[in-house]
Structure 1
Amino acid sequence: MDILTGMNQAIDYLEDHLTEEIETKELAQLAHCSEYHFKRMFSSLTGIPLSEYIRRRRLSLAVYDLKETDLKIIDVAVKYGYRSADAFTRAFYAMHQVLPSHVQRGEASVVTYSRLTLHLKIEGGISMKYRLVEKDSFNIVGLKKRVAIQFEGVNEEIEKLAQRITPEVADELIELSNVDPKGIINASTHFSEGRMEEQGELDHYIGVATTLDTHHSFDELNVNAGTWAVFESTGPQPETLQNTWGRIYSEWFPTSGYEAVEGPEILWSDQQETDQTEYKTEIWIPVKKVID
Structure 2
Amino acid sequence: MDWLVRMNRVLDYIEDHLEQDIDYKHLAQIAYCSEFHFSRMFASLSGITLSEYIRRRRLTRAAFDLQKSDIRILEVANKYGYESADSFSRAFKKTHGIKPSECRHEGVSLKAFPKISFQLTIKGDTEMEYRIEHLEFDIKLAGKGETVNTNRAFKIIPNLWSKAKKEGFMQELIDLSWENPKCSLEGILGVCGKEAAIMDEEFTYFMGVRYDIEPREGMETLIIPPSTWAVFPNVREAWKRLYAEWVPTSGYELANLPCIECYYGPGHKPRHELWVPVVKR
Which category describes the TM-score, using the shorter chain as reference length? 0.7 to 0.9
Bigger mean CA offset, 261-270 vs 186-195:
186-195
**Aligned equivalents of 1:63 and 1:219: distance in 2?**
48
Instruction: Report deviation, 1:22.
Output: 2.2
CA RMSD of aligned residues (A): 2.8
Q: Spell out, residue by residue over 1:181-237, the C-alpha distance to the aligned partner (whole angstroms, 9 max, x if none).
A: 123333332486345xxxx45233132x24x3346445321111111111123xxxx
Q: Which amino acid aligns with 1:273?
A: G
**Aligned equivalents of 1:36 and 1:168: distance in 2?**
29
Correspondence for 2:189: 185
Correspondence for 1:139: 140
* Contact 1:2/1:255, CA 8 A, preserved across alignment: no
**Aligned equivalents of 2:85 and 2:176: distance in 1?**
60
Instruction: Report deviation, 1:93.
Output: 1.1
* Contact 1:139/1:221, CA 8 A, preserved across alignment: yes
* Contact 1:67/1:106, CA 8 A, preserved across alignment: no
* Contact 1:19/1:81, CA 8 A, preserved across alignment: yes
**Aligned equivalents of 2:200 and 2:215: distance in 1?**
36
**Aligned equivalents of 1:214 and 1:19: distance in 2?**
50
**Aligned equivalents of 1:279 and 1:40: distance in 2?**
25
Q: 1:285 aligns with which of 272, 276, 281?
A: 276
Bigger mean CA offset, 34-43 vs 212-221:
212-221
- The total of aligned residue pairs comes to 273
Q: 2:258 aligns with which of 253, 258, 264?
A: 264
Correspondence for 1:243: 237
Bigger mean CA offset, 280-289 vs 149-158:
149-158
1:254 aligns with 2:248: yes
* Contact 1:174/1:184, CA 8 A, preserved across alignment: no
- Report matched runs for 1:58-97 at 5 Å: 58-97=58-97
Q: Give % identity.
A: 36
- Report matched runs for 1:23-102 at 5 Å: 23-102=23-102
TM-score, normalised relative to structure 2: 0.83
Instruction: Report deviation, 1:245.
Output: 1.0
* Contact 2:144/2:208, CA 8 A, preserved across alignment: yes
> Gaps spanning 5+ residues in structure 2: where?
none
Q: Which amino acid aligns with 2:174?
A: A
1:9 aligns with 2:13: no
**Aligned equivalents of 1:21 and 1:183: distance in 2?**
43
* Contact 2:231/2:276, CA 8 A, preserved across alignment: yes
Bigger mean CA offset, 178-187 vs 100-109:
178-187
* Contact 1:268/1:283, CA 8 A, preserved across alignment: yes
